[in-house]
Amino acid sequence: MGERDLLPPPSAGEGIAAHTILLRPGADLTGFRDAARRLVAHGVPPGAVTWGIESAPSLFGGGAAPASETPLVLPRAVAALIPGVVPHRDPERYGLLYTLIWRSLHGERHLMEVASDPLVHRLYRMSKAIGRDLHKMHAFLRFRRVEGGEGERYVAWFEPDHHILEAAAPFFVRRFAGMAWTILTPEGRAVWDGTTLTYGPPGSRTDVPEGDGFEAGWQTYYETTFNPARVNPKAMKAEMPKKYWHNMPETASIPALLRGAADRTAQMIEREPTVPARREPARAVAAMADQDPKTLAELNAIIRRTEPLVPGATQAVLGEGSVGATLAFVGEQPGDQEDLKGRPFIGPAGQLLSRAMAEAGIDREASYLTNAVKHFKFTLRGKRRIHEKPTAGEVSHYRWWLDRELEFVAPKLVVALGATAVLALTGKSIPITRARGPFRFDRHDDRFQGFITVHPSYLLRLPDEAKEEAYAAFVDDLKRIAALGAELAA
């Protein structure tokens, strides 16, 4: 908008003078917004404004920035609609939008909610057309790789229906941020060099390289994925109107696909079913049904080669002890030292467990020790890796392995050390204080008996004065476990 558009002071009482507002060609959101602010400020009704387009087509020329006026306070729905209509090529768009603004500010605040109002209806349809144009540009634009030069560079030519280049470009920036690309249109170009987006003069189709190494492959895919038994060109054209076809390489195949479809389908239907191939790979089929790990070692090999299902760990920490052990202890997850050495219960909590087991008369070497979760989860604080409790979902990720592991070990009694182990064995969150002692793990009831006690790391975290008593209680639990185990093994 130039100086010539400056409005006269509000007229006092006399008839309102006609105003002509000239905006830049294309989508001049800034110009429109400034004009609307002025017009409203001066009380100019829609009927007194004529909207036009500057004749000098300086789409990307600078132009003096107009002094900004006081922003209008518009209902949110109105403010949201405006940028979605401004790119429309209908010359009446600015007038319609200004009418909407005017009415919204003059007694019809909720106008946008009345979708049945003819003005709102028309503007909705215009914004829908813009939305569709944008969507089709995001969908149907095809890049071609420019060979030679450094790095990967891509160019596309597209002809939108409306003035949407600037509205469409951010999508491509987000999606292809790491690529250098240029989008050419008849009204202007958008250029992304990997860091900055700039707009420039129009281009032409001939500015795009003739071919691309993957275009034939794409066409092959297009032809192949078509199902000739479901021909429906009407549905295709409704979503991909013909006007887009000349810029989409794959559409060259359409006529041939349509011509051949009926014959191909008839052939498929009429053709006698062929005799099944003699391929009866009986051994392979039998082997396929036999994929489950057969031993603990096979299962452990799978666990070891699977990447952590919680991020960060050095390695999987497998269970330790012998198959057939009477007692199996299930902890939470490996800690810092366990993660580095690859063995369970060797850190401070593990040492405490060893001591308590010895005091209770349990031979650690003869027991089986494992964790609900096989990988260490932590947050990094400085150089220290601080243990982080696994979530219920993460415990579920690992539950299958624990179940299978216990099947192989086949202990008589499984001891859940702490809440995470309980969660893994029962699928439920159960407070330790309430469930401590012998416990039925329903899902495993037919296979082994259960016992719940605290995790030794809990003892380490207690204040000194409480430690002794809690430790004694833990040893008592272990004694009961030893007795129960002996009873079950007998």
Among residues 14 and 239, whose Cβ is nearest to other proteins? 239
Nearer to other proteins, 1 or 78 (CB): 78
CB-nearer residue toward other proteins: 319 or 456: 319
| Cross-strand bridge partners of residue 198 | 191
CB of 77 to other proteins, least distance (A): 10
For 296, 297, 407, 417, 448, the CA distances from 410, given in Å and listed in that order, are 11, 14, 5, 18, 8
Which CB, 174 or 383, lies closer to other proteins? 174
In degrees and rounded to multiples of 5, residue 342 shows phi and psi of 80, 20
Q: How many residues bind other proteins (CB under 8 A)?
A: 91
Contact status: 254 vs other proteins (CB under 8 A): yes
Query: Segment contacting other proteins (CB under 8 A): 22-30, 256-264, 364-372, 479-487?
Result: 256-264
CB of 440 to other proteins, least distance (A): 22
Site for other proteins in 146-185 (CB under 8 A): 152, 154, 156, 171, 174-179
CB of 420 closer than 8 Å to CB of 457: no
For the segment 212-231, give every residue that binds other proteins (CB under 8 A): 212-218, 220-222, 224-231
State the minimum distance, in angstroms, from the CB of residue 1 to other proteins. 34
> Between residues 193 and 363, which has the closer beta carbon with respect to other proteins?
193
Residue 125 dihedral angles phi and psi, to the nearest 5°: -65, -35
DSSP code, position 320: B
Sheet of strand 144-146: strand arrangement: 144-146, 153-157, 180-184, 189-192, 197-200
Contact 452, 416 (CB under 8 A): yes
Instruction: Determine, following the binding rule CB under 8 A, whether residue 268 of this chain makes contact with other proteins.
Output: yes
- Give 173 or 430: the residue with its C-beta nearer to other proteins: 173
Enumerate residues 394-413 that contact other proteins by CB under 8 A.
394, 396-398, 400-401
Q: Helix 29-41 to helix 93-105 angle, to the nearest 10 degrees?
A: 40
Residues 214, 275: Cα–Cα separation, whole Å = 38
Half-sphere exposure of 218 (CA within 13 A, CB side): 13
- Residue 321 token pair: 């002890």
Stretch of 43-51, 280-288, 429-437, 445-453 lying at the interface with other proteins (CB under 8 A)? 280-288
Task: Please list the alpha-helical segments (H only) found in 161-253.
Answer: 165-175, 215-225, 233-239
**From 17, 80, 287, 366, residue interacting with other proteins (rule: CB under 8 A):** 287
Residue range at the interface with other proteins (CB under 8 A); choices 44-52, 111-119, 451-459, 469-477? 111-119
